[in-house]
Chain A
Amino acid sequence: MERMRSGVVSWSQDGGALSRFCGEGWEGVKPEGASRGRQPRRGEGDEVTAAMASDGGRKQFWKRSGAKVPGSIQHVYGAQHPPFDPLLHGTLVKPGSKLPATPVKLKKVSTFQEFESNTSDAWDLGDDDDELLAIAAENLNTEVVMETAHKVIENHSKLQEQHKFQEEHLQEEKQVESVELTSTACGDNRLVKSISEGHTSSSSDNASENTSMQRSQSLPQTSTPPLVSGMADCNTSVTPALTEREASRLDKFKLLLAGPNTDLEELRKLSWSGIPKRVRPIAWKLLSGYLPANVDRRESTLQRKRKEYFAFVEQYYDSRNDENHQDTYRQIHIDIPRMSPEVLRLQPKVTEIFERILFIWAIRHPASGYVQGINDLATPFFVVFICEYIEEEEVENFDVSSLPEEVLQNIEADSYWCMSKLLDGIQDNYTFAQPGIQKKVKMLEELVSRIDEQVHRHLDLHEVKYLQFAFRWMNNLLMREVPLRCTIRLWDTYQSEPEGFSHFHLYVCAAFLVRWRKEILEEKDFQELLIFLQNLPTVHWGNEEISVLLAEAYRLKFAFADAPNHYKK
């Protein structure tokens, strides 16, 4: 916990975000306060929640984050922003005229949103950050803020001329960046920004226009553009060039990985908010504990482990048709062709590799054996590790058999060991009667009843049981609910969190469920609810959505994990 706190500079340390969530000045905030503050608010609707930042003192919230963040604002990344509540992006609140002392001040937020939306692209240039934040911190009164905003815009547009060429090339990334940075500074105001930039983004990219439309259909409260380039990590060849920030992050990773001893703590901190794809294979191997931190020992370890794996294959694989193993093998053999690992074309070579990995694992873990769902868990490792040798964009149409045999064997062995490490942490998910899953579904139910009573009651009212939709969430670690690129991003964080797969996942699931609260509350019938919950519209999700989800999950963990009495009713 302590470690993560220090890792999440932007909000767990400075408390800015907490004060947002708690609706109190942050000095007084304890986890208890956090949840008390939140529950009633949830039920009060979007406007109220959108305004939560201001609750308890408009200055504190942004002054504090402003005062503490400036130096680091450029480097704050992904989910470690002060997380903004994904539920709140819907209704843009109308400016209220008179503001009551408590509890909410709609006007302030709204004008702040306007202010921010008008100036947020100024973050891009970086130079203005400190000045802007300083000004903003001092001047929370609307007029001054607006005036400042205009100055900044003016200033920015001048600079923009100079940077025009550069802008053209990096426009998309910058939008992403600025959106993310925006949320760093102030969370909820992102809405305005999204609207104002939505057109630029979608007109420059037809695909994203479509997704934007579909998303706004399914998620009417989220008007964020799809930000395809924001998930450049995966599945997109839109922008080969890295943004400045991406490059800087990559450098940090490289530096960390190059040392004679990789500081794993540091690596976890850095990886929590996403690993650049170029270093992901090695980062995953380190994070999972498969590779030693000491550089000199890595190669020999790899060789030893690879040899060890293929010794297993030699020892066990021929027994797959023996009487006592044939059921296991048959099940795997039936399931593999039925998998659709999205980006990965199932060619015979791949099928063989998966069959071996899963069979060997099952034989060596008789307490659980092979359970459907485990097959899915091999995919992210395989896809990430194969990207060590080929470009990510190629994966889909790549003829795997064209890789040298030795390379394929390495990928296979590495995938096996990393998957084993993962499964070690969640084996009770797959032992008889799947107690781990049953327990976690139960915990999810309790947690949701605490964090969003309205949603919980709604499900209960319509007799929707958590097990009916969340069993799969636990059994397949949400892999069936989100695209593979999102799973891979999710696993960056899971592997950086203590007990990421076994424990933090629970908070992610809670955040994931509550993420759909609007849609859930709109469904008034058991059947529709269950169909919705089993077919959540995430097909266009990317890093952005996962970052939001993770931030929310982290917040929940922060508020509940160390306060068990909070958690239990």
Chain B
Amino acid sequence: MAQKEVLGTPPEGIHPTYPYKVVLLGSTSVGKSSLAYRYVKNDFKESLPTVGCSFFTQMLNMEVATVKLEIWDTAGQEKYQSVCHLYYRGAHAALLVYDITNKETLNRAKLWLRDLEKEFLPDEIVIALVGNKVDLAAEREVATEEGEEFARTRGLLFMETSAKSNYQVNDIFMAIARELLQREQEKARAPSPHGRSTVTLGESRVRTGCCRL
């Protein structure tokens, strides 16, 4: 209850709504679009290579607040990277997706992490490392421990998923939402009495808006 008040919940107990921008980053064909599609539509289909970015939204009713995730699914091909950074500006969270059957894609995810670390301060963005395609366990090239260990040393959330068999897809987005809310609360407890209310989130939207050409 105290938390809610800190978050600026109106006395009637209506949950505040927080919009968060979440970007999916990673190599081509690791399953970014499929993860988004599974999460938002709870379905799996072969998807076309993403061009530019695709946009999805999902509402999450959490205990203390409603979270509105804006999911930005980016194109994986490196050629697009110059455009991609325009999409991840202003993000509150990022999923670095790799394909557990392709070691190279983990290396690529590490490069994405480097990019993000240049762009954001550590407390500005929640980052999750996601090893997708666990349904293809027989072709696994990246051990679970390897991803886990890397995530631990860099302070990332970590999960292995399968968009195809719907394994832990919800869980990873939920984990991100929880982490975002928790950070929200921590910030609210910080010196500034106003905390990060929706007003400040509005500001962050303005940041999103700066990706003009």
A positions within 8 Å CB-CB of B: 331, 334-335, 337-340, 369, 371-373, 375, 430, 432-434, 437-438, 441-442, 463, 465, 467-468, 471-472, 475-476, 480, 526-527, 530-531, 534
Nearest-CB distance from B95 to chain A (Å)? 19
Give the residues in chain B near A338, CB-CB below 8 Å. Answer: 29, 46-49
Interface contacts (Cβ under 8 Å), in number, total: 86
Bound form: Cα–Cα A516–B213 in Å:
24
Q: Which 10 A-B pairs have the closest CB atoms?
A: A471-B52, A433-B82, A372-B49, A472-B51, A530-B55, A527-B57, A334-B29, A472-B52, A463-B209, A371-B79
Instruction: Check B54–A465 contact: CB distance below 8 A.
Output: no
- Proximity string of chain B (21-60) to chain A, C-beta cutoff 8 Å, 1 when within and 0 when not: 0000000110000000000000000111111111111000
Bound form: Cα–Cα A432–B50 in Å:
18
Instruction: Check A534–B212 contact: CB distance below 8 A.
Output: no
Bound form: Cα–Cα A468–B70 in Å:
13
In the complex, besides A340-B48, A468-B87, A472-B52, 10 extra interface pairs with C-beta distance below 8 angstroms are A337-B46, A338-B46, A338-B47, A372-B75, A434-B79, A434-B80, A463-B206, A527-B55, A527-B70, A534-B54
Q: Does B208 contact A (CB under 8 A)?
A: yes
> Which A-chain residue is minimally distant from B45 (CB atoms)?
A340
Q: Does B77 contact A (CB under 8 A)?
A: yes
Instruction: Check A463–B82 contact: CB distance below 8 A.
Output: no
Q: Beyond A372-B49, A433-B83, is A441–B77 a contact (Cβ under 8 Å)?
A: no
Instruction: Check A465–B211 contact: CB distance below 8 A.
Output: yes
Bound form: Cα–Cα A442–B212 in Å:
9
Give the residues in chain A near B75, CB-CB below 8 Å. Answer: 372
Nearest-CB distance from A336 to chain B (Å)? 10
Bound form: Cα–Cα A31–B85 in Å:
39
Instruction: Check B46–A340 contact: CB distance below 8 A.
Output: yes
11 chain-A/chain-B pairs, Cβ below 8 angstroms? A372-B75, A372-B80, A375-B49, A465-B212, A467-B86, A468-B52, A471-B52, A471-B83, A527-B57, A527-B68, A531-B56
The interface size of chain B toward A, counting residues with CB under 8 Å, comes to 32
Instruction: Check A438–B55 contact: CB distance below 8 A.
Output: no
> Which A-chain residue is minimally distant from B209 (CB atoms)?
A463
Instruction: Check B209–A465 contact: CB distance below 8 A.
Output: yes
Q: Beyond A338-B47, A467-B211, A531-B57, is A369–B79 a contact (Cβ under 8 Å)?
A: yes
Give the residues in chain A near B82, CB-CB below 8 Å. Answer: 432-434
Bound form: Cα–Cα A340–B46 in Å:
9
Bound form: Cα–Cα A446–B195 in Å:
38
Q: Does B205 contact A (CB under 8 A)?
A: yes
Q: Which of B52, B68, B209 meets A475, CB within 8 Å?
A: B52
Bound form: Cα–Cα A432–B81 in Å:
10
Q: Which of A334, A467, A526 meets B52, CB within 8 Å?
A: A467
Give the residues in chain A near B70, CB-CB below 8 Å. Answer: 527
Instruction: Check B55–A534 contact: CB distance below 8 A.
Output: yes
Give the residues in chain B near A334, CB-CB below 8 Å. Answer: 28-29, 49
Instruction: Check A442–B213 contact: CB distance below 8 A.
Output: yes
Give the residues in chain B near A463, CB-CB below 8 Å. Answer: 205-206, 208-209
Bound form: Cα–Cα A375–B49 in Å:
10
Give the residues in chain B near A476, CB-CB below 8 Å. Answer: 51
